Chain A
């Protein structure tokens, strides 16, 4: 899940950030060094002023802690009524986010940004509520103490010795448009404390006594001032950037922090975040996955994941790469590829000896880093006692130990047979062979046992004095040592190979699953099919239930088409919608709405969020394991890309079609305007002649003029009808209303309507009496026949015979209109069905070339085919083939008592 972005993107993001900043709601933070400095008071005072200026101010949450001066300030404000939530049997009051959003004031006051919401609220933390409010376009005033800033937690803990549980990511505070430090000198604060003006709950009094020491307060105040200065600085830089002022700070710093399962990683991440903020650079958190990864206990794997998530929360990009035994070169390669300028690593807590044997990562990084700076961060001694994370996960079966004993026994037996016939060194080799076999089959620890037993057996059997463990010649001690060491070495090496093979297998499975998914996705044609195959793949891979929700045109997620097995309630839908709108994971196992049944991941593609994937964790551990989680995210992003690909393809196709249509429309317009003007000209001419000199014109000529007016009007009528027909057909406004109909009925209709245009051409109709009923729309299909017959009338000399025939093949019925005219021009058989195309032999007869296009549209709407061909005996024929699709229900037989 390497999600690296090049720098230009970050730049662009900054620009967009500025743009949205201008329009979006404002966040103002009242920042204090410790409780009791008067943040709430300052916030309320300022809100009063704003209210006096006519701003619509509402209180979301304000903790007065029973202080009268603060309570006095609250009066006169409207406040959002809190929501009652049942929590462990009692009802807790909590801020009602939905009500606040419905009320939609201009400005809302939200005290205590770091507050943790009661379970059952939409978000786990109040700062998430605040972000939601800002997104809804509501200005927010809020308060926070320095110790609640995520990146300063460690520092505060170091100063005061108190570990703060509730914290707010720095990114939230960076979003603040205004940052006001509420400052009170420590002496005054202590004075207030003594006077009881600072609220201290009884149960915390002891801890707080430790907290409110002058030294602490001074340090905290300094920290707060520094943080404020930093924020002001950041604001200034934002301003300078937005005003195009040349930047004066070191640009393009990119930091890399390496994390692992060790506790120290948390400190590393926070330190890097601070460093990155000070340098104004971006940063990446990296985990190198080696063969050792599989040996980590599940909780350690979870910790690695947590460290990466923490970094993500603090604004880092995260990456996981695969590495060999020594991870130094892998880290450096990654750093070079990603233009890293500074690497942050932890100071190793390993014994010196091991470092000497294996080399130290820090040394290697420093030696080979070239122009990349390396920062080494130390950990506290207290935290240093990290858990031994390297316990192998699986224990060897007892047969493995038996194997070790057996191999040594076997080696000893062979050795006894060869004893005195060969050198002692050859016997040693026998034991080495045995150890190697055990190592190959069962790994390191049984091979260690085999080594030990080998040494013992060798000594006992072959070293004088025989059959005792005493050693006569001290030179043999060296042999023992070598045997022991060789055994250990072989065991360790084979173990590592085995682990690498296992890791490779796991990776292969993962890649295989992804490959299968991407193949399936690539093969799916429509979004429905795609969604189904993605759901199927996710369900199969994670043994769970999955849903995929895609948005409609109004960016509302549609309910899943096929209801998943778990109850997909409106509430679940709400969570999914939230995930879709905010682009962050939500639901079970996340910080937002953890009470829902499934976990929802946004489907993020390059162009934004294209949908939401919901997964029901079946066995909780199934995919909350970091490995699986990573794989699931990979699945989600694959699916997202596939969905986006489909969208893009559809859009492309749409654009192409639009262009085609545009061009066609232009041609059509010019053709139609010509065809409409011609009859209009004739009508206008004839009418004006009659009007102006009616009396002077002989009666026969008058009649002729009248007739031409009527003919031309009818011609226009036909053209307009055709135009309307083709427009309706192509826009899909025409519904084909199929009914089982005798073909004779349609033929009769068409013949009656074309009597005039056929003008006495003899029509031969041949319809077999056993012709089945055909499912067709008589209105549309008779139009096809009319057009074909009129065509025959247009393109053949007067008196040419016309034929209408039909036959059935059982699966389809074919209707033929044939004429004995000049026939079609070779090669035009297909083209004549296109719009605006007139056959080359087209006479002067007007018409926008729509007739056959209409025929084709209608026949194809029936699921049939229309073809044109020349007849062997001369003339053209048009074949309309319509599918039968079964047979109509039988007619009930009638009693035969007829009517005479």
Chain B
């Protein structure tokens, strides 16, 4: 694995850089690091990394602003890592174009999972088409046949439930904000935020083994939802 995926870390704290370098290089990633936003932008342009890990508290520019600027010309997945744990910050980062969000402190396992999801999505986007079938241990969605089955049994979904499920599947593994989901499923209409919660509950009841302990349809409190990548 000489040519593992290239990760660019933009982070001003030396301890964090040391930890992340150790963790990622031991998992076969190639690693680039930048201390300032300026340096980060230069490296992103010159090396075209596969994933960017971005800290929000940079010395020369607010991380959100940097994410916005990177998004203007690059489709490279951006995962924000920050000590700012407030929901507004998370939503702000996602709206600014970040693909995912991790709050410090986090474990290596969690970070690797997020990086993998990001890489898989960019790989799928590069292929230009998505797999029509999404399958978990419990249920299966076949988009070509517009069919949902739980343990082999066909389950009836309303059109909106299906649209919501399809949207979640398209972004599987990533956080989708309430706003993003409402826009994608209900369009720009007068949909109220609680529609989404009610439909999510219905999906859980139809597809989860124990809807009170969801394993697939995860709530990101105050931010939105995430469909766990199987």
Residues of A within 8 A of B (CB): 713, 717, 721, 737, 739-742, 744-745, 747-749, 751-752, 765, 767, 773, 777-779, 782, 888-889, 891, 894-900
Contacts and interface: CB of A to CB of B under 8 A. Distances in A.
Contacts of A745: 197, 200-201, 219
Pick from B87, B162, B201 the residue with the most CB of A within 10 Å.
Answer: B201
A205 B85 CA distance: 88
Contact of B193 (A739, A751, A767): A739
Interface string B140-162: 00000011100000101111111
B214 A752 contact: yes
A676 to B, nearest CB: 15
A773 B105 CA distance: 33
A894 B218 CA distance: 25
Contact of B158 (A748, A749, A894): A894
Contact of A891 (B161, B195, B211, B214): B195
Contacts of A782: 221
- Give the contact-size bracket for chain B: 20 to 34
B160 A737 contact: no
A713 B197 CA distance: 35
Given A741-B197, A765-B213, A898-B156, 9 more contacts: A749-B221, A767-B212, A778-B221, A894-B158, A894-B159, A894-B160, A898-B162, A899-B158, A900-B154
B153 to A, nearest CB: 11
B56 to A, nearest CB: 17
A739 B87 contact: no
B222 interface: yes
A900 B146 contact: yes
B216 to A, nearest CB: 11
A694 to B, nearest CB: 16
B14 interface: no
A752 B214 CA distance: 8
A773 B197 contact: yes
User: Chain B contact residues: over half helix, strand or loop, or mixed?
Assistant: mixed
B159 A765 contact: no
B222 A778 contact: yes
Interface of B: 85, 87, 105, 146-148, 154, 156-162, 192-195, 197-198, 200-201, 204, 211-214, 218-219, 221-222
Nearest to A721: B85
A752 B158 contact: no
B148 A899 contact: yes
A744 B194 contact: no
A898 B222 contact: no
B219 A749 contact: yes
13 contacts: A713-B105, A741-B197, A742-B198, A744-B204, A744-B212, A748-B219, A749-B219, A749-B221, A779-B87, A779-B221, A898-B158, A899-B148, A899-B156
A739 B224 CA distance: 13
Given A748-B211, A899-B146, A740 B194 contact: yes
A765 B211 CA distance: 10
Given A778-B219, A889-B192, A894-B158, A773 B212 contact: no
Nearest to A892: B195
Given A752-B218, A888-B192, A889-B192, A898 B157 contact: yes
B156 A739 contact: no
B221 A773 contact: no
B118 to A, nearest CB: 22
A741 B194 contact: yes
Contacts of B147: 899-900
Contacts of A894: 158-160
A704 B9 CA distance: 31
Contacts of B192: 740, 888-889
By Cβ-Cβ distance, the 7 closest A-B pairs, closest first, are: A740-B194, A779-B222, A899-B162, A765-B212, A779-B221, A898-B156, A899-B157
A659 B221 CA distance: 36
Nearest to B155: A900
A896 B158 contact: yes
Nearest to B160: A894
Nearest to B197: A741
Nearest to B105: A717
B50 to A, nearest CB: 29
Nearest to A900: B154
Nearest to B225: A745
A751 B208 CA distance: 15
B159 A898 contact: yes
Nearest to B201: A742
B213 A751 contact: yes
Contacts of B160: 894
A744 B203 CA distance: 13
Contacts of B212: 744, 747-748, 751, 765, 767
Contacts of A749: 219, 221
A713 B146 CA distance: 47
Contacts of A895: 159
Contact of B201 (A744, A751, A900): A744
A748 B198 contact: no
A385 to B, nearest CB: 84
Contacts of A742: 197-198, 201
B138 to A, nearest CB: 15
Contacts of B162: 898-899
B141 to A, nearest CB: 10
Contacts of B87: 779
Given A717-B105, A888-B192, A740 B197 contact: yes
Nearest to A766: B212
A709 B192 CA distance: 46
A900 B156 contact: yes
Given A713-B105, A748-B214, A900-B156, A739 B194 contact: yes
Pick from B85, B160, B194 the residue with the most CB of A within 10 Å.
Answer: B194
B197 A899 contact: no
